[in-house]
Amino acid sequence: MRRAALLAAAAATYAVAAWMVAPGFYDGFGPPQPYNWTCPPPQAGANLKPSSGHQDIKVLGGVSDANSAFTEDGQVVIGFLPGAFDVTGKTVISVDIVPLPTCPQPAGIRFVTNVYQITANAPLLKPANLVLRYSNLEPDPSDVYFATDPAGSWKSIGRAQTAQPFTVDTSTREFGYFAAGYPSASPPPGAVQIGGGQTLPIVVAILIALVVVAGIPLALRRRRGVSTEDKDGPEDV
Amino acid sequence: MISAFGSVHPARRAVLLGAYVLLVEWSRALIQKEPHMAVAGLVLGGAALVLVAAGWPADRLGLGTSRLGLRILGGLALGAVLLLPAAARSAAVPMLPAGLAVAAVAVSVGEELAFRGALYAALEELGGAPLAIVGTTALWTAAHALSHPPAFLEAVAAAGLLLALWRWACRDLVGPVIGHVIADLSL
């Protein structure tokens, strides 16, 4: 009984500790830090405002330098190759990344990240590499979407092979508004997934049912003395 | 691996095993941060952790086959307990991309064999069950310090304590392996 009580206490302690943090803390699959939401979903818990970012890129010998601009929280990184900008009349290229203070949800698209406005004081000549981090509380996005006006039409600019879990990569030849998401008319991409989403309560319910259904005959067998004692076997708790 | 440590003093063996496991886990966490290395880091880390159990008798690891039905049932129950807080949040659940499933199995089996298997056995031999439970929980928590934000470590420690207590109370590792695999696959 003492062992059973200790196990029950440990299970209760675990439940309390796990309830205090966002789900998904097993073995490093989760993002390195919680996502900072403009409009946090109810389950997000404590939330910090998303950060903005600024970068001044030098123009050397009439060519813009290779550099990256990123938000302070690392949720957006945009990288530029040498000569990525049309530097006519410029000695420094300024790039700004600002999270949109609102959360547009255009028809037919479900965003899973904040919307970010990326601007620069010079147009692009070469594609820039854009990386958006997303939360483990949302489905895997299928695309990065782009708009010149957040209230206007959004178009997919695709996504490249993901470099790391919970990031989505793409490239862009123009600046404007960016967010990651998926077509809301279709199931979330990566829907062939294990666990997560609405399936998790079902998984837990099935586990409990299995334990109960399989446990009853096992308990009855033990009560009838069918089971033989075995020193290395699991003990009753 | 135990054969290599067979003649080593129990304290030295426990320290060596603990250091090796921490080194593997921290290396895995650092490798996973490199682009395209997440899955490789998990699979290689899991394999390196499995090595810790090589040479240990199955019963010392808690891997006996007697009452297998109860052991499996215990694993399902542990999986349910580990997932219950996330499930209770309903839509608040993360999703593991299917491509990471193999890696999830590898690392969860490896961690159980290393922490609640070999390390538990070594510490139990050194200082009894209390040292084994406290020691594996502390090392388990430290092992996740590089891969998890500090805010998550209390929950990680609580999960480690629950699994270690199961290992002690039931003298069983099958349950923790199954529970850990279910939790890793589902979250």
Among the partner-chain residues A27, A32, A211, the one whose CB lies closest to the CB of B108 is A27
Token pair for residue B99? Answer: 């491509």
Q: In the sheet where A128-133 sits, what is the strand order?
A: A67-70, A76-80, A128-133, A167-172
Report A:109-168 residues touching B (Cβ under 8 A).
Answer: 135-137, 139-140, 163-165
CB A136, CB B95: distance < 8 Å: yes
CB B73, CB A218: distance < 8 Å: yes
Arithmetic mean of pLDDT, A192-200:
52
Report B:99-138 residues touching A (Cβ under 8 A).
Answer: 100-101, 104, 107-108, 111
Q: Of B174, B76, B176, B87, which is closest to residue A212 (Cα–Cα)?
A: B76
State the CB neighbour count (10 A cutoff) for residue A1: 7
Residue A67's pLDDT is 87
CB A84, CB A60: distance < 8 Å: no
Residue A195's pLDDT is 46
Are B38 and A165 inside 8 Å of each other by CB?
A: yes
Going from N- to C-terminal start, the domains of chain A cover 42-183
Among the partner-chain residues B89, B147, B161, the one whose CB lies closest to the CB of A28 is B147
Tell me which chain A residue has its CA closest to the CA of residue B106: A27
CB A26, CB B184: distance < 8 Å: yes
Residue A29's pLDDT is 55
For residue A27, which amino acid is it?
D
Residue A118's pLDDT is 97
Cβ–Cβ contact B30 with A under 8 A: no
- ipTM surpasses cut 0.85: yes
Arithmetic mean of pLDDT, A25-51:
77
Are A18 and B155 inside 8 Å of each other by CB?
A: yes
Per-residue HEC secondary structure of B31-84 comes to HHCCCCCHHHHHHHHHHHHHHHHCCCCHHHHCCCCCCHHHHHHHHHHHHHHHHH
Report A:6-45 residues touching B (Cβ under 8 A).
Answer: 6-7, 10-11, 13-30, 32-34, 41-44
Cβ–Cβ contact B143 with A under 8 A: no
Residue B1's pLDDT is 54
Compute the nearest-CA separation of A203 from chain B (Å). 8
* Chain A hits for B87, Cβ within 8 Å: 200-201, 203-204
Compute the nearest-CA separation of B58 from chain A (Å). 10
Residue A124's pLDDT is 95
Token pair for residue A48? Answer: 């910090």
Confidence (pTM): 0.64
CB A224, CB B86: distance < 8 Å: no
pLDDT category of residue A185 using cuts at 50, 70 and 90: low
A194 burial type by CB count under 10 A (0-12 exposed, 13-18 middle, 19+ buried)? middle
Tell me which chain B residue has its CA closest to the CA of residue A218: B70
Residue A174's pLDDT is 95
Give the span between the Cα atoms of A57 and A39, in whole angstroms. Answer: 31
- Domain over A42-183 is classified CATH 3.40.50.2300: no
Give the span between the Cα atoms of B116 and B125, in whole angstroms. Answer: 13
pLDDT category of residue A97 using cuts at 50, 70 and 90: very high
Given a cut of 90, is residue A85 above it in pLDDT?
A: yes
Are B161 and A136 inside 8 Å of each other by CB?
A: no
Give the span between the Cα atoms of A180 and A142, in whole angstroms. Answer: 8
Are B91 and A22 inside 8 Å of each other by CB?
A: no
Residue B96's pLDDT is 59
State the CB neighbour count (10 A cutoff) for residue B12: 12
Arithmetic mean of pLDDT, A58-83:
90
pLDDT category of residue A1 using cuts at 50, 70 and 90: confident
Residue B76's pLDDT is 93
Among the partner-chain residues B38, B98, B159, the one whose CB lies closest to the CB of A190 is B98
> Whose structure tokens read 């529970």?
B179
Question: What is the mean pLDDT, run by run of 10 residues, along chain B of 187 residues?
Answer: 63 93 91 73 91 91 87 92 78 55 88 96 94 96 84 88 94 94 82
CB B53, CB B20: distance < 8 Å: no
Cβ–Cβ contact B18 with A under 8 A: no
Tell me which chain A residue has its CA closest to the CA of residue B34: A164
